[in-house]
Amino acid sequence: MGKLNVGVYWAASCGGCDVAILDIHEKVLKVKEACDFFLWPIAMDFKYADVEALPDKHLDLVLFNGAVRNSENKHLAELLRKKSKLLVAFGSCAHTGGIPALANFTTKQGIFERAYLTSDSTDNPQKVIPKTKVKVPEGELTIPEFFERVFALDQVVDVDYYVPGCPPNPERIWEVLAAVVTGAPLPPKGSVIGAGTKALCDTCERKRTGDKKITGFKRVATTDWDPEVCFLDQGLVCLGPCTRDGCGLQCVQHSNMPCRGCYGLPPDISDQGAKMIAALGSLIDAKDPEEIARIAGELPDQAGYYYRFSAAAGLLERRKA
Amino acid sequence: MSEPRIVAFLCHWCSYTGADLAGTARIKYSPNVRIIRVMCSGRIEPQFLLKALREGADGVLVCGCHPGDCHYHEGNYKCLRRFLMLRQMLGQYGIEEGRLRLEWVSASEGDRFAKLADEFTEQIRALGPLGGRAAFVEGTQQGGTSWAS
């Protein structure tokens, strides 16, 4: 078969997903043999105009990482949808909003005020705020419009597949690339690929002591914990109950750190935070409302903790408008 | 002006029977409260409450058996813990505490349920509409604030 036409794009992202692709190591040479790249900003110099000039559906596969934060992200999402046969939401940000979507717990106005006016390191006596258009003697300059909230990719365009993870596990990436390259039969549209189908707790190998009873939440930075035993048993918040497996247990097993939830929702769950509250509600050992409030108060940023990677894709997608 | 929309989750064994008693005793109470019966208040997933708010409820009422009276022994305590955590978290979404209320209503407290329904309806009326999808999901794919150019 001929070579595959491939594009990789970053929208509101950190670049970690692009690096994760390179983390397949020497197999990247096989990718190079099998693929022609038409866009990959972190690695190669293509211009948006080159992509705009391509015929529709010219790209066999586009790996789109990053959330949709501004009008440039949205434009590229729409453009790459038009030019691609398979559009893959690649990594947590494109899948469920990721870290950038934590901004959905505040507003655009709140972000601008903090960033340009009130932060301790800001020196802006004239209170200059970025404008999308500004006239200068040479003409008009424009920058992309900053949206009110952050979107996951499928909230803006139609998406064929999802590969979760922050970043996706390189072995899973290779499986996905290999499937497309070899022409293997693809799963149904809309599938989450390169991940498991259970909650992380179901595949975690840490020891469970049985009767979990939480009387207070501990912090990783100030606790010595047993490296073999379930984190929740020890009062450390681990998002295993509300997170999809398939990550290779990189945090909970190999790094001895609690799950942060980057593989997103397991199937049949519609909200990571709600599910985590359901789980913790069963574990907290208190019946008195004041005592419960005290224990819950030890997690002052519940939303930020539970939705660290999925704030744009919760049942409530943003702070009240 | 639109009426407050309230979704109420009531446990089968105490609170729903209490609401039923209000009905058979022909006590009038606010029709704004839409009741959903569940077997136990411990069955009320936080997802249910979030879904109600997303789909346009202005307030959510949760009722279960009094502490110590749960038909399944511990369900109402689980409900209490989940409710308190959820209500605290929803503050981060800009949702006022007064929009979510948990009360214990026994099977014999028909009049109390009716009063509660009236009182909660007025509480929500005072807070105003919440906004549902328009506030938490839709209509936001543009800049559109005072910061826009």
- CB–CB contact A148 B135 (8 Å): no
Average pLDDT of chain A is: 93
pLDDT at A145: 92
Dig out the tokens for B72 from the structure: 């399944």
Average pLDDT estimate for B80-92 = 97
Determine whether B39 is exposed, middle or buried from the number of CB atoms within 10 Å of its CB (0-12, 13-18, 19+).
middle
pLDDT at B148: 33
Alpha carbon B39 to its chain centroid, in Å, reads 16
Dig out the tokens for A106 from the structure: 């505040």
Whether the predicted interface score ipTM is above 0.85: yes
What pTM value is reported for the model? 0.92
- CB–CB contact A156 B141 (8 Å): yes
DSSP SS3 for A59: strand
What does the alpha-carbon distance between residue B65 and residue A298 come to, in Å, rounded to a whole number? 28
pLDDT tens-place string over residues A78-121: 999 999 999 999 999 999 999 999 999 998 889 999 999 999 99
A45 and A123 in a single domain? The answer is no
Answer whether B52 touches A (CB < 8 Å): no
A138 and A175 in a single domain? The answer is no
Q: Which of A111, A140, A292, A305 to mutate to test the interface with B (most CBs of B within 10 A)?
A: A292
Residue A278 has pLDDT above 50, yes or no: yes
Higher-confidence residue of A145 and A211: namely A145
A290 and A234 in a single domain? The answer is yes
Cβ contacts (< 8 Å) between A275 and chain B: which residues?
45-47
Residue A194 has pLDDT above 60, yes or no: yes
A17 and A159 in a single domain? The answer is yes
Residue A234 has pLDDT above 50, yes or no: yes
Å between B14 CA and nearest CA of chain A = 19
DSSP letter for B131, please. -
Determine whether B27 is exposed, middle or buried from the number of CB atoms within 10 Å of its CB (0-12, 13-18, 19+).
middle
Answer whether B45 touches A (CB < 8 Å): yes
Contact A249, A204 (CB under 8 A): yes
A72 and A158 in a single domain? The answer is yes
pLDDT at A1: 56
Dig out the tokens for B24 from the structure: 């058979």
pLDDT at B149: 29
A120 and A50 in a single domain? The answer is no
A227 and A270 in a single domain? The answer is yes
- Percent pLDDT > 90 in chain A is 79
- CB–CB contact A270 B47 (8 Å): yes
Domain range enclosing A152: 4-99+148-182
Average pLDDT estimate for B135-143 = 64
In B55-84, the residues whose Cβ lies within 8 Å of chain A are: 67, 77-82, 84
Cβ-Cβ contacts under 8 Å between A and B: the total is 133
Residue B137 has pLDDT above 90, yes or no: no
Q: What are phi and psi of A149, to 5 degrees?
A: -150, 175
- CB–CB contact B92 A316 (8 Å): no
- Percent pLDDT > 90 in chain B is 88
pLDDT at B1: 61
Based on DSSP, count helices (H) and strands (E) in chain B, helices before strands. Answer: 5, 4
Residue B67 has pLDDT above 50, yes or no: yes
For residue A18, give the nearest of A66, A58, A52, A59 by alpha carbon: A66
A20 and A156 in a single domain? The answer is yes
The verdict on residue A127 lying in a domain is yes
DSSP SS3 for A66: coil
Of A90-94, A144-148, A308-312, B97-101, where does mean pLDDT reach its minimum?
A: A144-148
Dihedral over alpha carbons B129, B135, B138, B140 (to 10 degrees)? 130
What's the pLDDT band for A34 if we cut at 50, 70, 90? confident
What is the per-residue burial (b if ≥16 Cβ within 10 Å, else e) of B64-103? bbeeeebbeeebbbbbbbbbbbbbbbbebbbbbeebbbbb
- CB–CB contact B92 A303 (8 Å): yes
> What CATH number does residue B99 fall under?
3.40.50
Domain range enclosing B14: 6-136
A93 and A136 in a single domain? The answer is no
Q: How many domains is chain B partitioned into structurally?
A: 1
DSSP B52-73: HHHTT-SEEEEEEPPTT--TTS
Give the one of A147, A269, A320 whose C-beta lies nearest to B143's C-beta.
A147
Average pLDDT estimate for A264-281 = 94
Q: How many domains is chain A partitioned into structurally?
A: 3
What does the alpha-carbon distance between residue B8 and residue B18 come to, in Å, rounded to a whole number? 13
What's the pLDDT band for B143 if we cut at 50, 70, 90? very low
The chain A residue lying nearest B80, using CA atoms, is A289
A21 and A89 in a single domain? The answer is yes
Å between B130 CA and nearest CA of chain A = 8
What does the alpha-carbon distance between residue A294 and residue A309 come to, in Å, rounded to a whole number? 26
Residue type, A259: C
pLDDT tens-place string over residues B18-41: 999 999 999 999 999 999 999 999
A64 and A157 in a single domain? The answer is yes
